Structure 1
Amino acid sequence: MDIKFMPLLFVNLAGEMIYVLNQRLQAQHFENVKSSKILADLVRAMFEKRFIDELFKIQNIYAQQTLKIFFIKFAHCSIMRLTDNSMDKLFDLMTMTVKYQLETCITPNHLLSISLNHIDGIKKIMTEDRDNVELLRGLHNKVRLLRAKLIQTAHIMKAIVFYSFLFFAIKNRKKNHFN
């Protein structure tokens, strides 16, 4: 497995978590102030510079259960509280959506584009929070640098990254609407 897999997987899962929670908060007519605070706290925790720097270091791929624990802890960094059942459903939805996105990729560059799109989507949600927008800009630059490195890398390395994602998607099969 490639060392570049974890940051991209994390960004994609985090992006899906933010999208889903933003939609749920809007659907439940949460106060804008509380809703903004919940999302801002999540983004601040998930994309804190030191954490992201560690994520981009050489490391093994986290097990799905480890990833889930990360996201549970992130969810509880805000004033929001999710039941175990709600968190299970949220994580399943996140992984199913990312899996679907991965399975529709044709090239490794598509994977990087998905990650950049997630970051841009979160930035649109966070327009009022300058600190978080700065964190997201830094993350966006890291992914763009990764993209530049991969473009220079031999085709075999690109294939390894690509198949790492597909391996994650296949390994984490659940019954869903996409299969």
Structure 2
Amino acid sequence: MSMKTLPLVFINLGGEMLYILDQRLNAHRASEDKSEKAAGVWSENDRKRVMNDIVGTMFSQAFMDEILKPQLLYSHRTMKVVLTRLAHVSIMKLNPISMEKLYELMLMAFKYQVFLCPRPKDLLLISYNHIDTIRGFVKDTPAVLNKVDETHRKLIEIYSSMTAGEFQLLRQTLLTFLQDTHIRVSIFLKNKIQNPNGRFALSTSGPVPHGMDIPGVIRIFNRKGREMRQRRFASGGSYSHPTKDASFGLHGDRVIKLGVNMYSVTLGGESSKVPSVKMDASPNPLAKEELNLLACLMGTVEIENASFCETGFQINLLASAQEEEEGGASGGANESVINIQALMDEHSTTQLAQIAKLFVEEEETSNNVNNNKGDDLLAMMDDLGPL
């Protein structure tokens, strides 16, 4: 695991947060004359104040010195707490639901940008583009602008000397942090960037990384390193050498700049707005029974009606009865049902309880380590306060 991943995650997620907040404040903003009359309307001065306060705290010297230290990457829980406190250093306040959706949207935008990087070293371009856009938010405040410039200089100093192997390890750490995050975002779904299941639809065609050969050739060398012969194979895609700036990534027939403010650019021919996060809220009819069975097996909860623990338990392989009908199983209903014999066993229950205790202790230890790191940053943020 790379010890230099935290600065990139924090700066890129913070940059996405600033993109969204800036767009929403602009969407609800009226002229300064009307802002005094209309309650709840943000003026241009309010927007600038929010941007200056958040950016000033985010890029303060003491805070960035702590972030830039070699250390393990924070958990999602700790990262969310730090970013929530960062969003609230100014006059703006977000309710927990809005902050939860904001964090999910930030994650998916950053994840898509990571996927678009042709090579691991291009991860730096995402951060540099975020920093360039943040400069525009605080261009009228020299003191805050100097903090952003100083952070940019430190990033170049830290990451410019890294080898290709270190960048590959950094990329793997990022992918581990972002894995199993498949939240559907309307702007991605609309532009066919995301599949209905929340996974990104990345093209197998496009420009290859700078300095790389187009796939389709196998070269065979002898012991002296001299090329003896070649074999060609069908690569399954249409590749070309990059002809555009290295900070661009290709997705289908659309070229999207890595780390650019996608909430103010045009995708698919229409001006984009802040996308909404779509969650699949349809209840699973078997969820309650599955949880009851688990509680019965663990022996931690006494259930009055535990007949399912003595007989059998049916698990439907399909999500719902409607999907089962649409699936059209030709062999009858029994083909989509697994019977699990879940009889109570004292010895098994004791073993399961011991295993569960180990998981709880391990999780508490991990959370305490991450929370201690987050608490240090939060205390530092409180001392800084709004500018």
TM range (shorter): over 0.9
Map of 2:88 onto structure 1: 76
Which one has a larger percent helix, Structure 1 or Structure 2? 1
Q: Does 1:38 align with 2:46?
A: no
The one of 156, 175, 199 aligned to 1:144: 156
TM-score calculated relative to the size of structure 2: 0.44
Letter of the 2:16 counterpart: E
Map of 1:157 onto structure 2: 166
Q: Tell me how far apart the structure 1 counterparts of residues 180 and 157 of structure 2 sit (CA, whole Å).
A: 28
Q: Tell me how far apart the structure 1 counterparts of residues 51 and 176 of structure 2 sit (CA, whole Å).
A: 30
Q: Tell me how far apart the structure 1 counterparts of residues 53 and 144 of structure 2 sit (CA, whole Å).
A: 9
Map of 1:130 onto structure 2: 142
Give how far 1:148 is off.
Answer: 1.3
Q: Does 1:7 align with 2:19?
A: no
Identity of aligned residues (%): 34
Letter of the 2:21 counterpart: L
Which one has a larger percent strand, Structure 1 or Structure 2? 2
Q: Where does structure 2 lack aligned partners over 5 or more consecutive residues?
A: 30-41, 189-193, 200-387
Map of 1:17 onto structure 2: 17
Q: Any idea what SS the aligned residue of 2:179 has? A: helix
RMSD between aligned residues: 1.2
Q: Any idea what SS the aligned residue of 1:149 has? A: coil
Q: Any idea what SS the aligned residue of 1:45 has? A: helix
Letter of the 1:98 counterpart: F
Map of 1:26 onto structure 2: 26
Q: Tell me how far apart the structure 2 counterparts of residues 78 and 144 of structure 1 sit (CA, whole Å).
A: 29
Q: Tell me how far apart the structure 1 counterparts of residues 145 and 121 of structure 2 sit (CA, whole Å).
A: 24
Give how far 1:171 is off.
Answer: 4.1
Give how far 1:5 is off.
Answer: 0.5
Counterpart contact for 1:107–1:162, Cα < 8 Å? no
Letter of the 2:111 counterpart: K
Map of 1:169 onto structure 2: 178
Letter of the 1:74 counterpart: L
Q: Tell me how far apart the structure 2 counterparts of residues 75 and 135 of structure 1 sit (CA, whole Å).
A: 18
1:42-57 correspondence to structure 2 within 5 Å: 42-57=54-69
Counterpart contact for 1:96–1:174, Cα < 8 Å? yes
Letter of the 1:23 counterpart: Q
Q: Tell me how far apart the structure 2 counterparts of residues 55 and 149 of structure 1 sit (CA, whole Å).
A: 19
Letter of the 1:15 counterpart: G
Give how far 1:167 is off.
Answer: 1.8
Map of 1:60 onto structure 2: 72
Counterpart contact for 1:102–1:169, Cα < 8 Å? no
Q: Tell me how far apart the structure 2 counterparts of residues 81 and 44 of structure 1 sit (CA, whole Å).
A: 17
Give how far 1:172 is off.
Answer: 3.3
Tell which structure's C-alpha radius of gyration is larger: 2
Map of 2:366 onto structure 1: none
Higher RCO (Cα < 8 Å, 6 or more apart): 1
Deviations 1:74-112 (A, max 9, x none): 111100011111111111111110011111112122100
Letter of the 2:165 counterpart: I
Q: Tell me how far apart the structure 2 counterparts of residues 174 and 62 of structure 1 sit (CA, whole Å).
A: 20
Letter of the 1:112 counterpart: L
Letter of the 2:114 counterpart: L
Q: Any idea what SS the aligned residue of 1:60 has? A: coil
Q: Tell me how far apart the structure 2 counterparts of residues 173 and 7 of structure 1 sit (CA, whole Å).
A: 23
Counterpart contact for 1:109–1:147, Cα < 8 Å? no
TM-score calculated relative to the size of structure 1: 0.93
